[in-house]
Structures are given as C-alpha cells and as structure tokens.
Amino acid sequence: MVPFILLLVIVGSVLFHIFTPWYSTPIASNWSNIDKTIELTFWMTGGVYVAVLGFMTYCVIRFRSKEGHRADYEPESKKLEIILTVLTTIGVAGLLAPGLIVWDEYVSPPEDAMPIEAMGQQWYWSFRLPGEDGVLGTTDARNINADNPFGMNKNDPNGQDDILIEGDDLHLELEKPVKFLLRSIDVLHNFYVPQFRAKMDLVPGMVTYYWIRPTLAGGYEILCAELCGVGHHAMRGFVKVEGKEDYKNWLDDQSTFKALQEEAKLENKEKLAFHKSN
C-alpha cells in the first residue's frame, strides 16, 4: 500500500495547487514580477517535491523485500555526491537569482517617485506627505509629544509645509510612483498592502523603504504583518487610489505641520486663559 499512498500524496498535492480556492488578491501595482517570482518558486520546489516522492515510490517498488535477496552495502558514492551537489547548486541559483533581480528593482525608486512617510505605532498608522517644496522635513523621536506626534524638527523650513495625517486614511494618485519611507516609534511593525504585493519591516531607529506605482483605482486595506503586541490584529489602515483631480481635492483638505502647530498654540492659550479665569 505504501507506493499507492505516495502516489496519492503526489497527485493530491498537484491537484490542490492547481484547483486551490486560495488565490492571490488581484494585483494593483507594478509588482507583477513578485507574483512571477513566487510562481517560479512554486514550480521549482514543486518539481523537486514530485521528483523526490516519485523516486521514493520507485525505490519502494523496485527494491521491495524478496525472499533470499540481500541488500548491497554502499556507504559512499562520489559520483552521486557530485551529481546532487551540482543539481542543488543549480536549484538554489535558480531560486535566488530572480528574487535578487526583483529586490534590486524594489529598492531602486525612480527619480520622480513622491516620498511618503508611513509611521507605525501601537496600534495604528500615520502618514506624512511633502508640501509644495516636494521635500520632507527632518524628524527626531526625542521631539515627539502630544503637540508634535511625528517628532518634527520645528527649525527645519522643509518641514513647515509637510502634510500630516494621524490615524486616518492615506490617498494615492493613480499611476504616480511613490517611495514609502517606513518608521516605527515603538516596536517592530510591517507595512503591508496585499494588493500592492509590497511589504517591509519598520525597525525602531531606522528608516526602511520601497517603492510602488499604483495601477488600479480603489480602496485597499493596510495591515501590520509583524507581531507587535496584543493589539496587532487591530492595527489596520486604508489606502485609496484615485485619479489626479480627486487626489488633489483630498490633498487640499489636509493640514500642514505649520497650521497644526498654530492650532495647538491657540488651544494652549485658550486653556491657559480658562485656568486663570477659574
């Protein structure tokens, strides 16, 4: 029965991969090469899987126990070792090379890519976009407080017109390249939009990055793909990809760092006046 069980496992595994109901989400960015790399990995590892189980099935049938037959003892085979080493090297190179090529593209944004900072913290996402100057201002975690949740450097003129979006949806312009700058202010997080086929860890004390070009208008969920605490499951956000006009209308409604600082000063003055009057 062993050969039949092995054959059943082979056939069942292949059929499950072909007819599986768990397909990837429709892609909404330029990273179809990531899908192709994953498919190549499936084909190569699947081929090895079928070959190994097929060889096991052959061995069970070919070398099954027979009365009066004694197995040969051959502890080493230089020829077999060389063949397996060469085949393994070719297989590993075949798996690594496409991934390295795609990775090089993944972290090489075009010059016209718009920088957008995605900041993760337990347990929500915030975003920072450049203003009219197209440059993000500098930040420092030591500057973070209730009035300055992004840790903006108040003396950096490039940051005064930065657009700050705290705990709200992010909007992207259709077909506009974006370079995501990823920053965490507490623990490890991971910025992941399944439809973009793009993800990257947020490491405290570092700024990681990658780039995408949204290719399909719509709304997509942002997930944290790194266990970050008891609220990890609820650390979600939303990104909306829309046309140029709709994106501009949304952008015009957002507040800059300078405007938010002026609002905070006004609120503090009103609170101080209230306390004095009482």
Q: Are 27 and 198 in contact (CB under 8 A)?
A: no
- Asked whether 257 and 152 are in contact (CB, 8 A), the reply is yes
Q: Are the C-beta atoms of 98 and 40 separated by less than 8 Å? A: yes
Angstrom distance (rounded) from CA 184 to CA 239 = 19
Sequential pLDDT tens for the chain (278 residues): 888 898 999 999 889 888 887 778 889 999 999 999 988 998 888 999 999 999 989 988 888 878 877 877 788 889 989 999 999 999 899 889 999 999 999 999 999 999 999 999 999 999 999 998 889 999 988 899 888 889 999 899 999 999 999 888 999 999 999 999 999 999 999 999 999 999 999 999 999 999 999 999 999 999 999 999 999 999 999 999 999 999 999 999 998 898 888 877 777 666 666 566 66
CATH topology for 114-270 is Immunoglobulin-like (2.60.40)
What kind and span of H or E run contains 264?
Answer: helix 257-277
H-assigned helices in 29-133: 32-62, 78-106
Residue 175 CA to residue 62 CA, distance in Å, equals 59
Please say whether the beta carbons of 257 and 162 come within 8 A: yes
pLDDT in tens, 153-200: 989 999 999 999 988 899 999 999 999 999 999 999 999 999 999 999
Q: What is the distance between the alpha carbons of residues 82 and 77, in angstroms, rounded to a whole number?
A: 9
Residues pairing with 124 in the sheet: 121
Exposed (0-12), middle (13-18) or buried (19+): which is 256, by Cβ within 10 Å?
A: middle
> pLDDT at position 216, please?
95
| Longest CA–CA separation in the chain, Å | 107
Q: Residue 27: phi, psi to the nearest 5? A: -75, 140
Rounded distance, CA 134 to CA 159, Å? 10
The structural domains of the chain, with segments of one domain joined by +, span 2-63+78-106, 114-270
**CA gap 172, 270 in Å, rounded:** 36
CA distance 144 to 164: 14
